[in-house]
C-alpha cells in the first residue's frame, strides 16, 4: 500500500509579525525600565569622571560633582589625609587655581609643589600668624581631606565595590570638628569604614560653612565590609595625588609676593 507523502508546513508569509513571548508581556513597567536602565548605567560607568568625585559645601549645601544633595548626606569614611596649602592668589569661586605650595606630611613641601616657600613647614614664613591677607591668620592653611563612599542608597558588597570614591576638603575649623569623630571610630570600630555616618553642612556667618560628622549605624555584613576594605588603598592614593601645575606664564593676581621669599637659598 502506497505511503502518503508528509504534509508540508505552511510557509510564513513575508512581513508576518511574531507575537511577543508571554513572559515579556508579564513584565511590569518598573521591571522593563530597570532592564533598560542597566544598559545605560554601563555606559555612564565608562564615562570620564572629571571632577564628579568632589564633595563641595558651597553656601552650606552638599553637592557631588555639582549635583546638589542637601544639608546632609550618608557616607562611609575610607581615609583621612592631613594637608597644608598656600595660595599666592585671592580666592575666586569661578576659577580653580592650584596652590603654589602644599604638603601632605606637614613637615616639608611636596616635591612637586610649584613654588616652595621654605625647606620645612615649621619655619616657613607663610606659617606665621598675621601673614593671611584676609585676616590675622596664617597664609598657609592646615586642613583635612577625607575620602568617602556614598551610603545614600543601598549599602552592599556589589555597590560598595564599584561606587566612585568621593573626596571632601574641610577647613581648619571644620577639621577640628570632623577629625575627632573619625579618630573615635578608629578606637571604637577599628576603622571608620565599618560605619555609615551622616555628613552635614550648614551656612554660617563666621565660618561660611559648618560641617559635622556623626555615626549612624555599624556595618555588620562581612561581604560588604570586605568590599569596603578593598577600596581603602585606592582612597589613600587618591588623596595624595599631586596638585596640577599652574599654567605657564599665568601669575595669579591679588596677592603680593612677600619680601621674605627673596631671602630663600634653596
pLDDT for res 158:
95
Spell out the residues 6+ positions from residue 97 whose beta carbon is closer than 8 angstroms to its own.
87, 89, 246, 252
Question: How is residue 55 written as a grid cell?
Answer: 564633595
Q: Which 3 state secondary structure label does DSSP give 64?
A: strand
How much is the mean pLDDT over the chain?
Answer: 82
Rounded Cα distance, 137 and 126, in Å: 10
Q: Which residue has the higher pLDDT, 261 or 108?
A: 108
CA nearest to 168, candidates 102, 212, 105, 113: 212
CA nearest to 241, candidates 83, 100, 97, 75: 83
The region of weakest confidence among 38-42, 133-137, 151-155 is 38-42
Contact present, 163 and 149 (Cβ < 8 Å): yes
**pLDDT (tens digit per residue) in 218-258:** 999 999 999 999 999 999 999 999 988 776 554 444 444 44
**pLDDT (tens digit per residue) in 68-113:** 999 999 999 999 999 999 998 776 656 678 899 999 999 999 999 9
CA angle 194, 83, 90 (to 5 degrees): 130
Q: Which residue has the higher pLDDT, 95 or 14?
A: 95
Ranges assigned E (strand) in the chain: 54-56, 62-64, 67-70, 72-86, 101-103, 140-150, 166-170, 195-204, 208-218
Q: Which domains does the chain possess?
A: 54-257 (3.90.198)
Q: For cell 569604614, what's the residue?
A: 193
Contact present, 257 and 126 (Cβ < 8 Å): no
Please, what is the end-to-end C-alpha distance for the chain in angstroms?
113
Show the DSSP H helices in the chain as ranges: 22-25, 29-46, 157-162, 172-189, 222-239
Percent of the chain with pLDDT over 90: 59
Q: For cell 571644620, what's the residue?
A: 174
Residue 226: how many CB atoms within 10 A of its CB? 12
- Is the pLDDT at 11 greater than 90? The verdict is no
Amino acid at each position: 500500500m502506497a505511503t502518503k507523502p508528509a504534509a508540508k508546513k505552511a510557509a510564513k508569509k513575508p512581513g508576518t509579525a511574531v507575537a511577543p513571548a508571554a513572559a515579556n508581556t508579564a513584565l511590569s513597567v518598573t521591571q522593563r525600565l530597570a532592564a533598560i536602565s542597566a544598559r545605560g548605567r554601563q555606559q555612564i560607568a565608562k564615562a570620564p569622571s572629571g571632577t564628579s568625585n568632589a564633595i563641595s559645601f558651597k553656601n552650606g549645601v552638599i553637592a557631588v560633582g555639582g549635583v546638589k544633595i542637601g544639608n546632609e548626606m550618608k557616607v562611609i569614611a575610607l581615609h583621612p589625609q592631613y594637608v597644608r596649602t598656600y595660595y599666592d592668589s585671592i580666592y575666586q569661586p569661578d576659577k580653580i587655581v592650584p596652590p603654589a605650595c602644599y604638603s601632605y606630611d606637614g613637615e616639608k613641601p611636596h616635591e612637586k609643589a610649584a613654588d616652595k616657600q621654605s625647606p620645612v613647614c615649621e619655619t616657613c614664613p607663610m606659617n606665621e600668624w598675621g601673614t593671611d591677607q584676609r585676616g590675622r591668620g596664617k597664609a598657609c592653611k592646615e586642613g583635612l581631606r577625607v575620602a568617602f563612599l556614598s551610603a545614600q542608597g543601598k549599602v552592599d558588597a556589589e555597590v560598595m565595590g564599584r561606587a566612585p570614591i568621593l573626596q571632601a576638603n574641610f577647613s581648619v575649623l571644620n577639621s577640628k570638628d570632623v577629625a575627632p569623630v573619625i579618630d573615635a571610630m578608629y578606637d571604637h570600630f577599628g576603622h571608620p569604614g565599618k560605619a555609615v555616618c551622616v555628613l552635614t553642612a550648614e551656612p554660617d556667618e563666621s565660618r561660611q560653612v559648618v560641617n559635622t560628622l556623626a555615626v549612624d549605624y555599624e556595618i555588620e555584613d562581612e561581604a560588604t565590609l570586605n568590599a569596603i576594605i578593598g577600596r581603602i588603598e585606592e582612597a589613600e592614593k587618591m588623596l595624595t595625588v599631586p596638585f596640577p601645575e599652574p599654567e605657564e606664564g599665568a601669575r595669579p593676581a591679588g596677592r603680593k609676593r612677600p619680601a621674605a621669599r627673596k631671602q630663600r637659598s634653596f
